[in-house]
Chains A and B, each alone.
Chain A
Amino acid sequence: MDYIWLIPLFPLVGAIINGLLAPRLRLPEKLIGAIAALMITLSLMVSVMAVWQYAGWSHQAGNEGKPYIAEKFKYTWLPGGKAQITEGPQAGKELTDLNIEWSYQLDRLSSLYILFITFVGLLIHIYAIGYMHGEAGFARFFAYLNLFMFMMLTLVLSSNLLMLFVGWEGVGLCSYLLIGFYMTRAEAANASKKAFIINRIGDAGFLLATAAIFAALGSIQFTEVDRLLQSYQLEPLGSFGLMSWIALGLFIGAIGKSAQIPLYIWLPDAMAGPTPVSALIHAATMVTAGVFLLARMHSVFQHSLTVMLIVAFVGALTALLAASIAITQRDIKKVLAYSTVSQLGLMFLGCGVGAFTAAIFHVVTHAFFKAQLFLGAGSIGHALHHEQDLMRMGGLKKYLPTTYRTMQICWLAICGIVPFAGFWSKDEIFAATFTTPQFNAVRYLLWFIGLVTAALTAFYMTRMMSLAFEGNERFNSHSEPNATPIDQSANAGQSTEDGQTIADNHHSPAAHSANPQEGSALMRLPLLILAAGATVIGFIGIPGYSWIEHWLAPTFQMGTTEMAHPAMAVVVGVSVVSLVVALVAIMAAKNVYERKPEIADKLALNFGPLYKGSLNHWYWDSLIEGKFVQGFSQLCRLLWQGDLIVFDTIPNGTALLTKGSSLISRYFDYHGVDLIVNFTGLFLRFISVALRTAQTGFVNNYALIMILGLCLIILGLEYTAIVDIYHRIFPSAGSLPLPGLKST
């Protein structure tokens, strides 16, 4: 099992190949998709092998619940030194050798995660090959997808909080890159920016909690944290001590990542990205990272009951709120997005009441059916030329049989109908909520909120299915269907509240000549496999013989709180109640949307303000946009003006100075240097004119000069002899060789 470092490595290699090499080499689309899918397949195979081995290792006596840290791949990432614990009961204790390592940890929790991440990821990659056919930036898309898988796998296989944070930020980055994949569209760019910023707000809490853990315990390795916290005191309900602060910080991080109140608004907007992105990131993997964090740090949470209550309440309220928005949305992807937020709320509810196993179980089942629903919505959009308005669909079951059948399975799964997956996982959460020993009467309230959410979930999912697949075909008409007064005003309101219209990506009204058709086999196969998964995956958690409970129990038994083990009778009772509620909701929705749509309109009219509020996402977006974002933009604009005035004088002034100095230089150059140069030239010409006269071309002149020179040489050489001869001839001559003048 020391090879588990390969699991994140394969997608990274795929990302590098597709990102850097494929555009240069202009690889064909099929090859790019094949490389990406192959990498994920390799990861999947290595994961299966690793988990198989781990299972064998872990079932040996004494290894129960112990995580396996890959010894051969331990790499000191941030070397530390001596440190002192400064907080908590062990304050003052000194520790040495605090190195933060980069090592991979495989335990019961992460093994489950890598299996479903790689499996669902692989299916979505295959789907995306068909879905993104012909898109510009095909290679870039798959590079980002593979990069995302690398980050997510790093996150789940990490052995300490900081390495988890690397993966955490990485998935946030990839989410940004992928939501904003259609770079040229303003709404996609805004949505990606919003997602990343809101994620970062949560990360502040995460980092503070990490620092606090480091200060209090001296280590951020998960194994160490679990071990050290065993000797810590429990903080009961009502008290808010150090552990509660840490847990709150971690929870804030999870809120940002998993879209709970109040940081959920990025998820519906994130639907501006391509559908495979929504399926992978915003249904199956990234948003479950928050739940993963809570499960990893369960010992911290189990020490702080106050924060557990906060988690449970936030989860429940989010679930209810999101469900209440989803029942009125017209965009199919927004319905699914709010459904995701709602289901995530249920997962947090499960964590909050101590039923971590149930929450993780729901994560796994949700990954399957939500991904399938998203892919199915993508398939519908693909068939209808990127139409996403539910009111413009209808009667598609005739044209898209595969999509219809598979989505039906997952619809039943999400509504919690036996024997599909959602039934088992949801009801496990509800049963745990109903019987949790952590809280007293409050748990009934939480359970009730969960029940109402289940009813609403069933209602809006059935509404979505009915509007999309049943009834009259509305996708060929150009006029607004269902033109009732409330709908008209709703339509008017829908496009102005937060400036977003229904995502109508490449919709051209005139292109509906052909009947809608299913996508290629590449798109249909994942739908089928995921639907099959959604059918059978629930069976790993049948109460009474819950395999997943046995698998995960040793991990979560480190805490001192008792795990909720509800009695069989309670479980059955709760399940039956929720099943009945779901069936009633389904039947009601079918009645309204398939047979008597006017009831919907009448209800909308009667509950006018509520309807409008729900349609406009309860105005949370406009509040934040209006108050914070606009104010901040104003400040930024002000600073920009200031920058223009103050800081731009420096470069401008420098430019003026440069101009002036260059003028002076030019003056000097022109009058000073050029003068000298020109004068030298003139002088040379003058000299040459003078010297030219010697070149007569007349040989006799040359000979004359030669002879004269010869005479001069002789004179010079024999000067004394010549003077002597002269004195002999003219003895009376003076010192000068001239005939002496009579001096007297």
Chain B
Amino acid sequence: MLYQWFIPMLLQAQDVFPEAAAPGFLDRLTRAFSVVSINNFLFLSALLFTIGVAGVLTRRNIIVILMSIELILNAANLNLVAFSRYWQIQGGISPYTGQLFTIFIIVVAAAEAVIGLGILIALYRNRETVSVDEIDILKL
């Protein structure tokens, strides 16, 4: 099985991804990641965003969902700050616009968290549970 299927598949990967089979692939990869450019921050923020979304979609506990939403928001914040640091426009937005917007989002996130927690408390008082699985009254 290992030899009949897995290795040929690996070998086929070369056909699919010929770049990966090219020599010096790993070097190029390392070099790409040695200079800290905006891409790094963007990758990170995208990763955080994805994790947050995954959390929102998958977790059952409402508090965890709220935390994931915070994560999403903060990923956006990171994005904004990165752009504020690396992206210069000639005669356009000032370099601190991104950071300023980040402040706004933090405030909004805080307010939203308050409301979310308020709803959570009211929900707990009525349903005795914090698991979204069990709140399915809208189910047809």
Task: Give chain A's interface residues, CB within 8 Å of chain B.
Answer: 692, 695-700, 703-704, 707, 730-732, 739-742
- Is B133 positioned at the interface, with any CB of A under 8 Å from its CB? yes
Q: Do residues B135 and A699 form an inter-chain contact, with CB atoms below 8 A?
A: yes
B25 at the interface (CB under 8 A from A): no
Contact B140 A741 (CB under 8 A): no
Q: Nearest 9 pairs between A and B by C-beta?
A: A697-B139, A697-B136, A695-B140, A697-B138, A692-B140, A742-B15, A739-B16, A704-B57, A699-B132
A697-B18 contact in complex given A704-B57, A707-B53, A707-B57, C-beta closer than 8 Å: no
13 extra interface residue pairs, beta carbon distance < 8 Å, beyond A698-B133, A741-B16: A698-B136, A698-B139, A700-B57, A700-B60, A707-B53, A730-B17, A730-B19, A731-B19, A732-B18, A739-B17, A740-B16, A741-B15, A742-B15
- Set of chain A residues within 8 Å of B57, measured between Cβ atoms: 700, 703-704, 707
- Complex contact A732–B19 (CB within 8 A): yes
Contact with A along B105-134 (1 / 0, CB 8 A): 000000000000000000000000000110
Most chain-B CB neighbours within 10 Å: which of A699, A704, A730, A742? Answer: A699
The binding surface of chain B is classed by DSSP as: helix
Min distance, Cβ A33 to any Cβ of chain B, angstroms? 84
Determine the distance from Cα of A512 to Cα of B10 in the docked complex, in whole angstroms.
140
- Contact status of A700 and B139, CB under 8 A, knowing A730-B19, A739-B16, A742-B15: no
Query: Please, how many residues of chain B have a CB less than 8 angstroms from a CB on the other chain?
Result: 20
Whether, in the assembled complex, B2 has its beta carbon less than 8 Å from a beta carbon of chain A, the answer is no
Chain B nearest CB, measured from A743 CB (Å): 10
Residues of chain B with a CB closer than 8 A to A696's CB: 136, 139
In the complex, chain B residues whose CB is within 8 Å of the CB of A700:
56-60, 65, 132
Most chain A beta-carbon neighbours within 10 Å: one of B58, B137, B138: B138
B138 proximity list for chain A (CB < 8 A): 695, 697
Q: Which B residue sits closest to A698, measured CB to CB?
A: B136
Please, how many angstroms separate the alpha-carbon atoms of A731 and B139 in the complex?
47
Known: A703-B56, A703-B57. Is A697-B135 also a contact (CB below 8 A)? yes
- State whether A698 touches B15 (Cβ < 8 A): no
Q: Name the CB-closest residue of A to B72.
A: A707
The reply to whether B19 and A695 form a contact with Cβ atoms under 8 Å apart is: no
Interface residues of B in 1-47 (CB under 8 A from A): 15-19
- Whole-angstrom distance between the Cβ of B10 and the nearest chain A Cβ: 15
Inter-chain CA distance A718–B126, complex, in Å, is 44
Bound form: Cα–Cα A697–B15 in Å: 45
Residues of B within 8 A of A740 (CB): 16
Can you pick out 24 interface pairs between chain A and chain B where the beta carbons lie within 8 Å of each other?
A: A695-B138, A695-B140, A696-B136, A696-B139, A697-B135, A697-B136, A697-B139, A698-B132, A698-B139, A699-B132, A700-B56, A700-B58, A700-B59, A700-B60, A703-B57, A707-B53, A707-B57, A730-B19, A731-B19, A732-B18, A732-B19, A739-B16, A740-B16, A742-B15
User: A707 CA to B50 CA in the complex, in Å?
Assistant: 10
Interface residues of B in 52-69 (CB under 8 A from A): 53, 56-60, 65
Task: Tell me which residues across on chain A come within 8 A of B65, comparing CB atoms.
Answer: 700
Closest to B20 in A: A730
Docked Cα-Cα span, A703 to B54, in Å, equals: 10
Closest residue on chain B to residue A701 by CB atoms: B57
Q: Chain B residues near A732 (CB, 8 Å)?
A: 18-19
A330–B15 CA distance with the chains assembled, in angstroms? 143
Q: A697 to B140, alpha carbons, bound, how many Å?
A: 7
A732 to B15, CA, bound (A): 10
Tell me the complex Cα distance, A730–B22, Å: 12
Provide the residues of chain B in CB contact with A731, threshold 8 Å.
19
Closest to B139 in A: A697
- What separation, in Å, do the CA atoms of A704 and B57 have in the docked complex? 6
Residue of A nearest to B50 (CB): A707
> Which chain B residue lies CB-closest to A732?
B18
With A700-B57, A703-B57, A707-B57 as known contacts, state yes or no: A695 contacts B139, CB within 8 Å: yes
CA distance A732 to B20 in the complex (A): 11
- Chain A proximity of B133: nearest CB distance (Å): 7
In the assembled complex, how far is the CB of residue A534 from the closest CB belonging to chain B, in whole angstroms? 107
Complex Cα gap A732–B135 (Å): 49
Chain B residue nearest in CB terms to A696: B139
State A697–B127 Cα separation when bound (angstroms): 15
CA distance A739 to B16 in the complex (A): 6
Chain B residues positioned under 8 Å from A741 (CB to CB):
15-16
| Whole-angstrom CA separation of A707 from B57 in the bound complex | 9
Contacts of B136 in A (CB 8 A): 696-698
Cα-based distance from A741 to B18 in the complex (angstroms): 10
Chain A residues with CB below 8 A from B59, complex form? 700
A704–B132 alpha-carbon span in the complex (Å): 14
User: Which B residues are CB-close (under 8 A) to A692?
Assistant: 140
Contacts of A703 in B (CB 8 A): 56-57
Question: What chain A residues lie within 8 Å of B132 (beta carbons)?
Answer: 698-700
Are B17 and A697 touching (Cβ within 8 A)?
no
Determine how close the nearest CB of chain A comes to the CB of B14; give it in whole angstroms.
9
Q: Please, which residue of chain B has its CB at the minimum distance from the CB of A704?
A: B57
Question: Could you say which residues of chain A place their CB within 8 Å of the CB of B140?
Answer: 692, 695, 697
Whole-angstrom distance between the alpha carbons of A703 and B135 in the complex? 14
Closest chain A residue to B132 by CB distance? A699
For A702, the closest partner residue in chain B by CB is B138
**Distance, CA A731 to CA B59, complexed state (A):** 38
CB distance from A702 to the nearest CB of B (A): 9
Distance (whole angstroms) from the CB of A710 to the closest CB of chain B: 9
Within 8 A of A (CB), among B78-119: none
CB nearest neighbor in B for A705: B57
In the bound complex, how far is the Cα of B102 from the Cα of A432, in angstroms? 143
Least CB distance, B29 to chain A, in whole angstroms: 12
Contacts of B53 in A (CB 8 A): 707
Chain B minimum-CB-distance residue to A695: B140
Q: How far is the CA of A741 from the CA of B137 in the complex (A)?
A: 49
Docked complex Cα distance between A697 and B59 (Å): 15
CB neighbours of A697 from chain B (8 A): 135-140
> Which of A695, A696, A700, A740 has the largest count of B CB atoms less than 10 A from its CB?
A700
Q: How many whole Å from A259's CB to the nearest CB in chain B? A: 97
- Chain B residues, CB < 8 A from A739: 16-17
Residue on B with the closest CB to A710?
B53
Nearest residue, chain A, Cβ from B54: A707
B139: A residues at CB distance < 8 A: 695-698
CA distance A368 to B52 in the complex (A): 127
How distant is B24 from chain A, measured CB to nearest CB, in Å?
15
What is the chain B residue whose CB lies nearest that of A691? B140
A696 CA to B133 CA in the complex, in Å?
Answer: 10
Report B106 CB to chain A, min CB distance, Å. 22
Residues of A within 8 A of B16 (CB): 739-741
Instruction: Determine the distance from Cα of A739 to Cα of B20 in the docked complex, in whole angstroms.
Output: 12
- Max count, chain B CB within 10 A of own CB: residue among A692, A703, A731: A703
Residue of B nearest to A694 (CB): B140
Residue numbers in A under 8 Å from B60 (CB-CB): 700
